[in-house]
Amino acid sequence: MSTFGARLHAAIGDRGPFCVGIDPHASLLHEWGLTDDVAGLESFALTTVEAVAPYASIVKPQSAFFERFGSRGIAVLERVIAQAREAGALVLLDVKRGDIGSTSQAYADAYLDPASPLASDAITVSPYLGFGSLDPIIETARVHDAGLFVLALTSNKEGPEVQHARVDDVAGGGTVAGRMLDHLRQLNADADPLGSFGAVVGATIGSTEEDLAFNGPVLAPGFGAQGGTLADVRRLFGSAAAVLPSSSREVLRLRRPEAMRDLVIRTNDELRS
């Protein structure tokens, strides 16, 4: 099996960089005319997979919206992961896990070990217990040729309190977010054609002085309905190795499978142009 970075590079070349979020909000279930229960969740999620997974390079299920239904919701998530991968899409499971020691290792085993029914190609993780707290997840990703997307510059209003804070020590200062990107730069240093350790940088952050050239992919949520535009992507991420603009509501509110499919194809064409 090739590394996640190599698989992602090939998938982008084949299908385009658009990442489709699968977020079964209660409000979206109602918009679809579905009940806010496991039956509605299953219809929504599997219809979406059938519509977009054969055409998107990567899909991003948000685990929390499945977890809220307990074990039956997790069972639906397992089917989403399996069917999306069968359709040729990579699966980035949005779990934003971050812990220490054996707990961190348990999360890694749950989401990255192929023996787990939740095993995905990559997951999102939080480094804000210290980047070293991610070591068990990083090593497990390496063993199983999986990937990680580390929260770096998020677009939520609370993010700058931590991410923009200055670091004054012997390592050279800069911001906390910049330090996270430096760690990713080291992890991806010799990877070819693309590193497997990416960053999450919001498409709606406006601007940044951080260096986004770290030889790994950037997940850019907020594209589309949340306000991020093609111009924003080009302006913000010109130095990045590979950018995955991500949208959920823009696609999911279309409801009809053929409309969702057409938007994915059209957006990929626009991003590649």
d(CA 17, CA 245): 7
In the DSSP assignment, the letter for residue 205 is S
Residues 6+ apart with CB under 8 A from 157: none
75-to-118, 181, 213, 257 alpha-carbon distances in Å: 9, 35, 38, 23
33-to-26, 69, 151, 253 alpha-carbon distances in Å: 11, 18, 34, 12
Give me Rg for the CA atoms of the chain: 18
145-to-76, 112, 123 alpha-carbon distances in Å: 25, 9, 12
d(CA 176, CA 43): 41
User: Within a 10 A sphere around the Cβ of 272, how many other Cβ atoms?
Assistant: 12
The amino acid that residue 21 corresponds to is G
Q: Which of 25, 96, 249, 253 is catalytic?
A: 96
In 107-205 the beta strands, taken as DSSP E runs, fall at 122-125, 147-153, 197-201
Give yes or no: 60 in active site.
Answer: no
- Give the helix/strand (H/E) hosting 58: strand 58-61
Instruction: Determine the number of helices (DSSP H) and then strands (DSSP E) in the chain.
Output: 12, 8
User: Within a 10 A sphere around the Cβ of 173, how many other Cβ atoms?
Assistant: 11
The amino acid that residue 40 corresponds to is G
Catalytic residues: 96
